[in-house]
Amino acid sequence: MIRALALAVLLPALAYAEPVKPEMRPAAPTALGVSLWPQLRPRELMQKFMARREAAKRGSVCGDAEIQGVALGPMAGRIAGCGIDQAVRVRSVRGVSLSTEAVMDCRTAKALKTWIVRGAEPTIGSTGGGLAGLRVYAHYACRTRNNKPGGKISEHGRGRAIDIGGFILRDGREISVLDGWSGRNGPALRAMHKSACGPFGTVLGPGSDGHHGDHFHFDTALYRSGPYCR
């Protein structure tokens, strides 16, 4: 009875009581008295970030902002077996410029990027300020292998190959395949040649035959037995 009377008195009062508001959580202070809670990024910084990202996308091909160039679309060849389904003209990869804008397909462009990341840049390192460019000797050309009449179509004729004759450093010097293979740059050139085996299906260089003494030949042909590297 007493308990019932007490509730009868208290319940009306509670019904009109002002609800208790939770306390605002204070910003967590640091030893310097500065809050560690993340601050909103100023709109101007976000706009600049988005502008840079969009600018990179506008000049990219193959869905990769680090592969800069122009999409060319389908390319037909004058010889049966030549041509590229979706060609791109690449001018730079990861900021490494090509001495000649090279036409190829996207699989080859992506293989080139993989090799630059895993092989060329680590091998060059900080020598001469780092790798600035590649000396392109050949890219897409509708022709037979080694230009032999009646021969099989070269991977160059399918947009799957690129020939590189030298490595341009940021200080202006160049490591030439022809001059460096048997010289003091030989170990570095051999390391870059070896690292291309995997990203590319075919890797040829000095000593492979009589046609590649002054450059590396890389292509993305696929073989059941695995990459062919000499």
Fold for domain 67-229?
Muramoyl-pentapeptide Carboxypeptidase; domain 2 (3.30.1380)
pTM of the model: 0.75
Amino acid at 43: R
Q: Is residue 10 helix, strand or coil?
A: helix
Per-residue pLDDT of the chain (230 residues; tens, 9 = 90+): 444 444 444 444 444 444 444 444 444 444 444 444 455 567 766 666 665 566 556 789 999 999 999 999 999 988 889 999 999 999 999 999 999 999 999 999 999 999 999 999 999 999 999 999 999 999 999 999 888 888 899 999 999 999 999 999 999 999 999 999 999 999 999 999 999 999 999 999 999 988 899 999 999 999 989 999 99
Query: Tokens 């003494």 appear where?
Result: 213
- The 10 Å Cβ neighbour count of residue 24 is 6
Q: Which long-range contacts (CB under 8 A, 24 or more apart) does 5-8 make?
A: none
Largest pairwise CA distance in the chain: 115
Write out pLDDT tens, residues 179-190. Answer: 999 999 999 999
Residue 31's pLDDT is 44
> In a 10 Å sphere around its CB, with 0-12 CB exposed, 13-18 middle and 19+ buried, how is residue 75 labelled?
middle
Which tokens go with 216?
Answer: 């590396």
Which candidate, 162, 228, 177, 224, places its Cα nearest to that of 198?
228
pLDDT of residue 204: 98
Please report, for the chain, the start and end positions of each structural domain, with discontinuous segments joined by +.
67-229
Q: Which of 210, 214, 138, 139 is nearest to 175 (CA)?
A: 214
User: What pLDDT, on the 0 to 100 scale, is given for residue 10?
Assistant: 44
93 CB burial (10 A radius; 0-12, 13-18, 19+): buried
**Alpha carbon 165 to chain centroid distance?**
21
CB half-sphere exposure, 221, CA atoms < 13 A: 18
Q: Check if the beta carbon of residue 120 is closer than 8 Å to that of residue 152.
A: no
